[in-house]
Every structure is written in structure tokens, then in C-alpha cells.
Homo-oligomer: A and B are copies of this chain.
């Protein structure tokens, strides 16, 4: 049991920031990641489709005898977490709760901004999670659908990305937030641009928050010296390999699997 892997899934490459944080916090654990690159992105799809895809993804991880699953995709966490929890017997952790908790802890004014994909924002999952932790918090959300394609294009520290960020964040900034939740696992990759646009505002990276949560909840620890990391994708592309190297470094094998 202790050597059973922790499963992680995301719609694509963004969840690798969560995988990296898990590897840092729990170096002895075996980790298995699935990126649904054949159907990426999820953020512009309907709740019904997001739930269907999420269940298929956890079923795939189940075949590897996982002891726990981390939903590293904000869109899936927002729409499918409850359904997943009631369909599987192992613990399932999403990224929303830990991010919300961190934001409430950090914020002094109680004015918190949340950015994410269209589907994450429309779900209001962060808003609900934050307000249930502290009913006095005020939450201002903004969907930023161009961030994922800009990041996947590799325009990380770029003038265009800066212009887009300025436009997307104006509304939230005008409300006077002191904390901004990066409600999409891709976004930590443009932290530099976001910091420039949001001077004086604390950014909450949910990858870090979720890794700490997993550390707490893990039913049993691996006794290995160093865990193995395995990456599966539903479509193996050059683009995935390039971004994966950027986040996880060299030497990790990427394998294609069929999900349908």
C-alpha cells in the first residue's frame, strides 16, 4: 500500500506545476500524472462534458492502483470534485479548497481577486469556498481565457501578455483587492508578468497550497528513498514535451495512452 502512487490529472500541461510542487514536498512518493492533451482545454467546455472527462481520467488512474488522486485542474475541481468523491473510494483532493484557504489566511482587507478559465469563474467555486471560510470576505472574479494559449505559445515574459494581463486585471484591481488567487495551474508560469501588473498584491499559487494539503491528508507514506514520476498523455505532442521539460526538467518519460 505505501508504495502505491499518488495520481494527478489535468486537462493538459498546466497541472505539471502541481506535480512539481508534490515532487518537492513529497520526494519519496511515486507520482503518476495524466494530461488529457487530446481534449485540452476544459475551460471553455460545459459542466456536463467536464464531469464526463474527469470521471474517465480518474478511472484511468485507478488502473494504476493509486492511493489518492489530486485534481490538478481548476476547471475539473470546480465542476467535478463532488461527483468524483462519491464515485471513488480513495481520497480525492482538488485545488480550489487549498487555494481558497491560503487566500483567506493572507488577505488583510478581505478583498480577494480570483482569476481563472471561463468555466472555473462561471462555477463560482472559489467564491463559495472563500466566503464559507470567512463570510466577511469580498471576492472579485475575472475569466482570462487568453492566458492559457499565451503560456502554451511560450510568450511568458512578453509585452503582449503584459497588455492582455493589464486589460483582464483592471476590473479586479479597481476593486482594491490585496490578494489574487491564480485559479488556473498554468498561471504560475506568468507570475513575473502578473507581479508587474499587480504591484503590492499577494499572489496565491494553488500548486503550493495543494501540495501542503496532500502532505497532510496522505493516508500512508512511501518508504522509498526517491519516488518515481510517470507522465501519461492522451495525445503526445512536441508542444507537451517542450513545456514539460520547461517545468519538470529533463529525463521524465512521457507515454501516450488511450482514454476513450
User: What 0/1 readout, one digit per residue, does chain A (145-167) give for beta carbons within 8 Å of chain B?
Assistant: 11011101100000110011001
- Asked if A237 is at the interface (CB within 8 A of a chain B CB), the reply is yes
A85: chain B residues within 8 A (beta carbon): none
The stretch of A22-30, A37-45, A62-70, A103-111 that contacts the partner chain = A37-45
A3: chain B residues within 8 A (beta carbon): none
Counting chain A residues whose Cβ lies within 8 A of the other chain, the interface size class is 20 to 34
A234: chain B residues within 8 A (beta carbon): 49
Contact of A149 among B46, B145, B239 (CB under 8 A): B145
Nearest residue in B to A50 (C-beta to C-beta)?
B235
Nearest residue in B to A144 (C-beta to C-beta)?
B153
- A236→B260 CA distance, assembly (Å): 20
- Asked if A213 is at the interface (CB within 8 A of a chain B CB), the reply is no
Q: Do the beta carbons of B49 and A45 come within 8 Å of each other?
A: no
- Asked if A118 is at the interface (CB within 8 A of a chain B CB), the reply is yes
- A237→B124 CA distance, assembly (Å): 17
Contact status of A45 and B235, CB under 8 A, knowing A38-B39, A149-B145, A149-B149: yes
